Structure formats: C-alpha cells, structure tokens
Amino acid sequence: MPIEIYPSKLAGGPLEVHQTDERMTLEAWLRAKAPSFEHREAPPISISVNGCRIPPACWSEFRFRPEDRVAIYIEPAGAELVIAAVTLQAAVKFVTGLFMPKMPKMPSSPGQGDKMSEAAAKGNQIKINSPIREIAGRRKVYPDYLLPPHRYFQADDPKSQWVELMLCIGKGRFQINSSEIQVGDTPIVSLGGDAEYQIYQPDADLSVESAAVWWHSATEVGSTSSGTAGLELRATYEVDPVAEASSYTFSGDTIAVPDGAGSFPDGWSTGMIVRIEQYLAYTVGSDGGSIQGHLEQLEPFAGMVIEIAGDIEGAFVVHEVEEAGPGDPTPVNMTLNYLDGSPVVGLPSGSKRLAIGYDGMRYRITSTTVTEVDDDEITTAITVDRLTDTGATDTAWVGFSSETTSDAVLSLDASTQEGDWAGPFAACPDGEVTQLIECDFFFPGGLVRVSNKGALRVEDVTVEIQYRDIETAGAWTSVTKNYAASTLDQIGFSESIALPAAYRPEVRVRRIGAKPTNPNIQETCQWYGLRAKLRGPTSYAGVTTIAMRIRGGYRLASQSEQLVSVIATRMLPVRSGGAWLPEAPTRNIAPWVAYVAKSIGYTDDDIDFDELDRLDAIWSERGDNFDAVVDSSGTVKEWLNDAFAAGFAELTIDRGRIRPARDEPRSAFEHMYTPQNMTEGPSRQFAAIQPDDYDGVDVEYTSSVSWQKETVECRLPGDIGQRVEKLKLEGVTDETRAWRIGMRRRMEQLYRRWTYSWGTELDALNSRYLSYCAVGDDVPGYGQSALLMSVETVSGGYLLEPSEPLTWGDGSHVVALRRPDGTLSGPYTATRIDDYRLAVPELDFTPDTSWQIEPPHLLFGPLNRWSYPVLITSISPSGDGASVEAVNYDPRIYEYDDAFPA
C-alpha cells in the first residue's frame, strides 16, 4: 500500500512514497516514522484516505488497510479557519484531452461537400478533487465537468454529432433563468431543438439521466499528430504467422534480429500474441523427473503450469524448486509433476536443448522497432510482456536470458494472424470493468462514388470490430458493420456493443477488403472514438447540477471560445424583522456572511445580529450587494472581509462574536478620552502631502455587463493619475459602486492624514474598532479637561463647577461630559459664569459628584476645536491598561458615497 507525502495540495507529484502492508492506525504510522510526533488540534499536515479527508481527532483510531491509498499533505503555516470544501466525487480517473480537434480538410478532388459542425460546447474546467465553487449573489459561471462529455453520431442523421454534458454549477441552490443559460454567447433557448437542458437540485436522483452516465474515452483512439480526426483504417491483408529470420538476439523483454539476419514479418504490431520458444541448454536428472539449469528467465515456483518443447515435449506442473544460494554457481533444480499431480518419471536424462515457459509460451507484443533499409521499412525488434497460463500479464517477469540463437521459433497466436488491425486498445482504465462499449467511425471526405458525369453514386465500406477480455487474452469476438452512402459531406456513425459479461475489454478494428484506387471514390474511414460505460454516481450531495444535450449544426459552430455558462443567483436563508425566513434568491451581504460563518460551526449567538441587521438595511437601501465566486481555498476571514468591503465595512471579532464595523458618516460621539483618564499621551502625528503621493485610484472589478475584469478610474479635479493606487474588488459587479469605493479611498488619501495614540487604564475596553470618539489634550487653544466638582439645577439649565479654571476666548464654546459608563454626553452650548463656573441648557443624565464613584470628566473648548474627532483603529490590552491608536474623522471622506461617475 502506498503512503504518499505531498508538499501541498497543488498539482505535482509526491515528495516521498512509503510502502507498508501492515494494518495500523494513522497516528501509529506517524509515530513510527517521526518519533517526535505529537497530537495537535490543528496539525501542520492533513491526511486523506482514498480521497476522503480524515479529521485529526480520528487519527488515533482510524486504521487503514493494505489496499488503501493514503495521501499526506503539508499545510501552509499560519492558516486561518478554512471553509471545508466538498470535492467532486465522480471522475476520479478522468483524464484531459477529451475534445476532438476541428475535423481536417480533405483534398478537393473530386469534390468537397459541407463540413459537419462538431458539438464542441465545453464547460469551464476539469477539477478533480478540487473545492466545489461557492457562489455569493448573482454571477456568471462556467460549470465544471462532473463526467467526461459523451459524444456520438446520431443514428438517423449521420451528419449530426451530439454531445451530452453533466456539469456542476456550484454548492447549494440557485435561481437560474432559461434566458441566462448560454452556449458561447448564444442563449440556449435560441438553439431550439439543437439543445436541451435540465437543472437538478442538490441530491437529485440522476439514475435515468443519460448525461449522468460515465463514459470513459480511450485516449489512444481519436485525433492524431498527422492531422487526422481518427485512426485511418487500412485495407485487410494476411500476416505471415511465422518469423523466418536466420537468428535472434534475446535480452530482457526484447527480441532483435541481428544485421543481415532478416526481419520480422510485415504486419506484426503492438497487441498481437506471439508464441516464443527460446531454446537453452538444460540437464535432466537421473531420476527422470527433475531439470537443472539457469532458470532465471522462467522464475519457477511450486504449482506453476509450464510447457516444455524441444528434446522433451509436454505440459507439466512444477513440484518443487531448490534455489541456489547467494554466489552459489550451482544451477537451479526443479522437480516436476504431471498435470494430474503424479510425479514425473522416465524423462531421458542428460544434457538437453529445451524451450521452457508458461503453458502456451505466449507473449504480447508491446512495441516494435522499425528500421529503414534501402528505402524500405522493416521490423527489426519487438518488445513483449509474458502471459501466464491463464492469459494474465506476468508483471514480475525479469525477461529472457541474454543469448543470440538460430533455433528459436516465433509464431503468431491463431487469433492475431490477420491484419492490418488498428489496436488493440484497452477500452477502460486498469481496475475498471464494463458491459457496454461504443465505437465511432468517421468519413472525413464523405462516402460516395462519383460517376464520370458527376453523378453521386452509393459507395459502401465494411468495418470489423473485435473485442475480448484483456486479462485472459482469449478468442476474439467479431462484429461486422457495413456503411453505405452517396454524399460528399462528412458523416459519422456510432456503434454500441453489449459485452456478455463485465470485464476489461481490449478492442481492435480494421476495414474489410482492399482500398479502391479509383480517384472518384471517397471512402476514407477513420476510427474516431472508443468509449466504455463505467459505474458513475447517481446523485451529487449538496450541489446543483445541469445536464445538457447539444447537437452540432449550423446554429453552433466549432469554436474554442464557446463555453457553456449560466448566470446563477444564490438561494440562502434571509432575515426580516430579526427573524429567519426560508431560502430565497439574494444578493445581499448579510445572508452570505451568516452562511459562511455557520458553515464552520458558528451559531446565531456567535454573530452580532443587532449590528448586522442594521447594516443590512443600509446596504439593501443603497443597493450594495456581494456577487462573488469562491472556487479556491481561502480563509473565512478573507471571505467575510471581501463581503463586508462591498459595503464599506470590515470584519471584527467583538467579545467573541462576529461583528461588522462600517466606516460611515457619524454624528454622535461614543466615548471621550482626555488627560483625566489617560495614562500616557496623547500623541498626534500628521503626514504631510508629498510629491510622490498617490494622485488617483484605479479599481479593478468584474462587470455584470461583460462578466470580464474591468477597471474604473477614480479621480478628483486636478488629478492627473501619474501615480495611482490599484485596488482589486471581489464581489462588486457594478461600475458605480466600484467607483464609489475607489473615490472613498481617494478621499482617505487626501483627508485621513492624522494619527493618534494614547494609553489608558481599562477605559479603552469600552470602545470598539472604528468607534467614533472625542479626544482631548493640553495643547493651548484647543479643549481643556477637568473633573466635574458639582452640578446645580438653575433657571434655564444647569450650573457646572469644574476642578480647573477654564480659558474663554472669542466665539462660542461647548462642553461635553463623560457618563459613568464612559460614553460622551453632549456637547452642550456653554455659557460663562466666571473662571470656575459655566452653565449649560440641558443634560441627558444626572451626574454623580458624591465621589462614591469617579466624578464625570469634563471637556471644554471652542466650538470648532473643543476635541479631536477620531475613529479607533487599535486597542491593545496590556496588564491593567491598554494602548489605543486612532485616525482622524473627516466628513469629507464620505462625499462621494452616493455620487455617480461623470
């Protein structure tokens, strides 16, 4: 059993491969290989067995079997929570190269008819063991193949080729309009009877859907490097059954004809079965039942059924083998039994020249070597696999003993004496069996006889198809098909053959009869395709699929850019009035955020729905949507931040709950920070405008009109765009909204240039990320802070007494107070009484100046300079305090949030 270790889950081979036949737990194997192994909840590796991921918690109990395939992947360090991706389960052995090229042109003489359009529609990608895409909102997607496309020629219309596709749209449920299903840029409804489709919801039964059948195409049959659409079938002729070279050189799995000794017969080709008798010197023991010699090429074992030719003839069973020890020159000795099990006696003893092999001495030709001699091509060498007495391939065979001999006999098995065959080729992968195969035959120049006067006459071609079990290599079963037509148009035929039992078939094809030499006859026949029906899934859990059947015709050209696409809108549970409603088509940000969070185990209690519902109302009114396709690995943080960014928000974790923080216009301060509750600072820093600062923003987004990446320029009056910041938006498909986000960023570049920092005790923990706060310091001309010593109700308001004298200047002044919970009350218009007293017209709380608790803080100053309005960007607790960072709040930043590009 292989245990493969990969550097990542990207494409590529394993770093290491270990073999083990033991049945043990995954953790036991890891500890055996790495003594320093320790159990972790989030280990730096992941393990899959037979394509299924095994959670780390199960490693100590999960026992793999010798037949299992174990894959260990090294995971990237520091990865955050990743949404578990469902993998496509169907085409595990699906190979690329499934599409035929455009059919080649034929010579114009004697005439050329219309080309038959191919059914060349294709989905986006083949994604074996890759995450299934997640769709948020409304997006155009190119569904992925679940199974290889099934192409075939229509029985009653040989000029038409159909293709059946089974495609995966994505995880979950979708709203899809028929007008938004396209082949290339053509709506499928415009193709009329040339196209059919059916959308299946997750877990739907596909047992009667023909497009859901897994047809495996043999890659050996089809287009060739010489430019033909298939393997050209040549005329039949007799193949000489016996090789008549004067000598042969045996070495490993190769038999070669030395220079001047002749060649192998014409027509001996790959797949043919050859009986090979290689004669060597052996010694028959005096007991008349044992043979000694260098039997390395035979590799005898007790119970092996063998055949002996030469000085002794017959079939026997090896009874016992006495192996020679290492370095021991003594020949191997084996004793024999007859086929009935009785011991062999009476063989003539002494030195004999014998050919010994599995009963039948059969070998399959795997390749041939062709040499050009005097402008003629001759076969000078063949390589072979040895077959056992049952017809199976002997994969452990070491090859022939090296020797050049003149008495070897090579002859074809009776089943392979006729050629010129195309094939044989295996119809399905190793380890698979089938009971139904299909063969396609294509006539690229039509099938016709043209009379001397130009009339089109009927011409016919007969094709013979043979198949058999590749493991037993028994007798061939033949099927003969005759095709007749009188057309210069390209035509094709598909033949289905039911096998008598489930096995792995090998198939070969030839045409019967000589190829005509009359130039007025078009009858070139090509073997276009070979397929086997395999066992495939009858449903797909959790994903929406689409089955399509498309006919090549004048409405559908054969172009590589023609892709099957759908515009799908995701259906998710939605909220209304603080309660969940059933699934509905939605592009809103909030339902997608809740879906992503819940997919990794979060519950409603883990999400701040008060804030999410508030923002959902804002986003819905503004039309801020999230339309994205997620089809690669990524973190939950990345997915949520992409969604929030479409609504000017960011992801925060606030007291263990997911909470969006939106940068938006503010009018009411949340908290107040002054020297009265600061342990350090505040510090203010200003970044002056520099010549190399950005003077523009370019935003790349996916357009919902073209569904291509497009760029919108975001410029202020005077911007020349000499140095621009480039933003890439995921999930924004509207140009106006992409422009608004870019203009927001451009305004930040100009007007968000102050940074602040200070320290507090635990007061800062009252605030959140992007909390709108008022900050004061001791800089003259700005706000002053103090403690409130007393408050008194007076006519028309309240009389306040601060702990410090206040400096009054020209113009209006205001004062704000800090409530016991740290929030800001005010600011209120302040009226001077004297240096230590001022009056305000109202208060929204009753200040406590008893000193039983800390008295309210007071922040006083000129109307436009009484505080620094800031947005909190960082709160870092440390011991009994916290350090805080912030940026300036400037309402000009939001100037273009509701504007439109010029």
| The pLDDT value given to residue 324 | 67
DSSP class per residue in 271-288: T-EEEEE--EEEEE-TTS
Task: Tell me the pLDDT band of 77, cut-offs 50, 70 and 90.
Answer: very low
- Average pLDDT estimate for 428-433: 92
- Give the pTM: 0.70
Q: Which two tokens stand for residue 841?
A: 């017209």
The terminus-to-terminus CA distance of the chain in angstroms comes to: 66
- Chain centroid to Cα 897, Å, comes to 38
Lowest mean pLDDT among 91-100, 125-134, 547-556: 91-100
Lowest mean pLDDT among 12-21, 69-78, 518-527: 69-78
- Average pLDDT estimate for 740-757: 96
User: Quick check: 87 pLDDT over 70?
Assistant: no
Task: Tell me the pLDDT band of 121, cut-offs 50, 70 and 90.
Answer: very low
| Sign for the pseudo-dihedral over CA of 245, 251, 252, 257 | negative
- Average pLDDT estimate for 507-511: 93
Instruction: Let me know: does 352 contact 313? Beta carbons within 8 Å.
Output: no
User: Quick check: 509 pLDDT over 70?
Assistant: yes
| The pLDDT value given to residue 506 | 96
| The pLDDT value given to residue 123 | 52
Look up residue 671 and give its amino acid: H
User: Quick check: 383 pLDDT over 50?
Assistant: yes
Q: 410 forms bridges with which residues in the sheet?
A: 276
Higher pLDDT, 877 or 130: 877
Neighbours of 471 (CB within 10 A): 17
- Average pLDDT estimate for 371-397: 89
- Average pLDDT estimate for 167-174: 95
Task: Tell me the pLDDT band of 559, cut-offs 50, 70 and 90.
Answer: very low
Q: Which of 634, 641, 646, 633 is nearest to 658 (CA)?
A: 641
Q: Which of 536, 491, 528, 493 is nearest to 509 (CA)?
A: 528
Mean pLDDT of the chain: 86
Place of tokens 């001996």: 268
- Average pLDDT estimate for 520-540: 92
Distances (CA, A) of 105 to 226, 489, 618, 791: 12, 11, 61, 99
| The pLDDT value given to residue 633 | 67
Place of tokens 């006859």: 521
Task: Tell me the pLDDT band of 94, cut-offs 50, 70 and 90.
Answer: very low
| The pLDDT value given to residue 23 | 76
Lowest mean pLDDT among 6-20, 289-303, 525-539, 836-850: 6-20
User: Quick check: 61 pLDDT over 80?
Assistant: no
Task: Tell me the pLDDT band of 110, cut-offs 50, 70 and 90.
Answer: very low
Give me the percent of the chain exceeding a pLDDT of 90. 62
Lowest mean pLDDT among 266-270, 288-292, 582-586, 851-855: 266-270
Going by their DSSP bridges, the two strands 824-834 and 332-337 should be labelled as unpaired
User: Quick check: 807 pLDDT over 50?
Assistant: yes
CA distance 716 to 746: 8
Lowest mean pLDDT among 25-39, 103-117, 452-466, 495-509: 103-117
| The pLDDT value given to residue 14 | 74
Q: Which two tokens stand for residue 334?
A: 């084996």
Distances (CA, A) of 827 to 763, 816, 824: 20, 4, 8
Look up residue 296 and give its amino acid: E
| The pLDDT value given to residue 237 | 62
| The pLDDT value given to residue 558 | 45
CB neighbour list of residue 653: distance below 8 Å, 6 or more residues apart: 659
User: Quick check: 100 pLDDT over 70?
Assistant: no
H/E stretch holding 813 reads strand 813-818
CA distance 51 to 73: 12
| The pLDDT value given to residue 757 | 96
Count H helices and E strands in the chain, helices first.
5, 63
Lowest mean pLDDT among 252-256, 389-393, 407-411, 725-729: 389-393
Cis before 424 (ω within 30): yes
User: Quick check: 203 pLDDT over 60?
Assistant: yes
Tens digit of each residue's pLDDT (9 = 90 or more) over 471-491: 988 899 999 999 999 999 899
| The pLDDT value given to residue 413 | 76
Burial of 583 by CB count in 10 Å (0-12 exposed, 13-18 middle, 19+ buried)? Answer: middle
CA distance 814 to 830: 5
